[in-house]
Amino acid sequence: MKRLIITALTALTLNIQLSAQEVVRVDRITRYSQAVDKASDRIDDVQTKMEEGKQMEAEGKALKKSSKSEKQAFAKQQKKLTKEFEKKKKRLSKQMKSKDKEEKAEARVELKSLSTDYKVELKEAKSNVKEAVRNYKKSIKLINKGKANAKKNKGKLKDVKYKHKVAKKRLEDAEKKEARKD
């Protein structure tokens, strides 16, 4: 009787162990397929980040180009304002040398209003030039950041593709083993 119970328990234990091994094999295949899926997702993520880096770089280049042209245009505007002011100032200075008091007073008032307008316009032109310079610096930062991100993600992509390849190989090997045992 004791022998019968012991053999029954032994057979039951061996049966449980065999079924547990089958579960492990299935779990191994599932685990490897999940690893392949995860690696594929990471490849997509890294490629998306690389595209973002390239877009950032392109955006920086466009901003650089526009800010350069804006800076040049505002600098020309500033020179033009200065030249116009000097011409008008010279004309008014001649009027101020006149002997007629009314003409002198008129010229003085006109010169004062001209100076005020010139200062306002010049201040605006200078602020526009500063803004263009700020945009230029920002564009340089964008370009550098985009290049750095693209370079960093290029290395990551290489690593992730290698991990994907390894996971795929493991999955194929596990499936071959499973097929041989069946």
pLDDT tens, 42-87? 999 999 999 998 999 999 999 889 988 888 888 898 899 889 989 9
Task: Measure the CA–CA gap between 80 and 110, rounded to whole angstroms.
Answer: 20
Which of 10, 3, 14, 34 has the alpha carbon at shortest distance from 170? 34
Q: Which domains does the chain have, with CATH numbers?
A: 2-181 (1.10.287.620)
Q: What is the DSSP secondary-structure string of 10-63?
A: HHHHHHHHHHHHHHHHHHHHHHHHHHHHHHHHHHHHHHHHHHHHHHHHHHHHHH
Query: Model pTM?
Result: 0.62
